[in-house]
Amino acid sequence: QKVSVEVLDHLEHLALVDFRDSEGVERLQKAIQFADQLHEVNTDGVEPMDSVLEDRCLYLREDDVTEGNCTKELLENARETVEEYFVAPPGNIPLEKLEGRKTYLQGS
């Protein structure tokens, strides 16, 4: 069962990384095939496990400020900043649909 172009496109959109070439798509196909082996295991009545420490109480700190005031250090690592802001391109423009994007999937 091959993954449809619609799903591949959807994945590129969700992940914001691209498949790049046929190898990338093959990689996903193989990954799914590999994962399908899980269905051989009988998991009736088994609860999913989130964490091996599920029997313990997670540590919660008091809601007190213990550190901060590191604006300068944090801004230093960003390429584009203005005063104390990180600068992003316009956010209300969705990623172009398949037809408009320069993606390998266009050819499929």
| Residues binding other proteins (CB under 8 A) | 3, 7, 10-12, 14-20, 23-24, 27-28, 30-32, 34-35, 37-41, 43, 46-53, 56, 58-61, 70, 73-74, 76-80, 86, 88-91, 93-96
Residue 53 or 65 having the CB closest to other proteins: 53
Compute the least distance from the CB of residue 28 to other proteins, in Å.
6
* Helix (H) or strand (E) run with residue 86 in it: strand 85-86
Residue 48 or 107 having the CB closest to other proteins: 48
Cα 95 to Cα 13, 24, 32, 78, 98: the distances in Å are 7, 20, 26, 23, 9
Contacts 24+ apart (CB under 8 A), 13-17: 13/95, 16/95
Compute the least distance from the CB of residue 108 to other proteins, in Å.
15
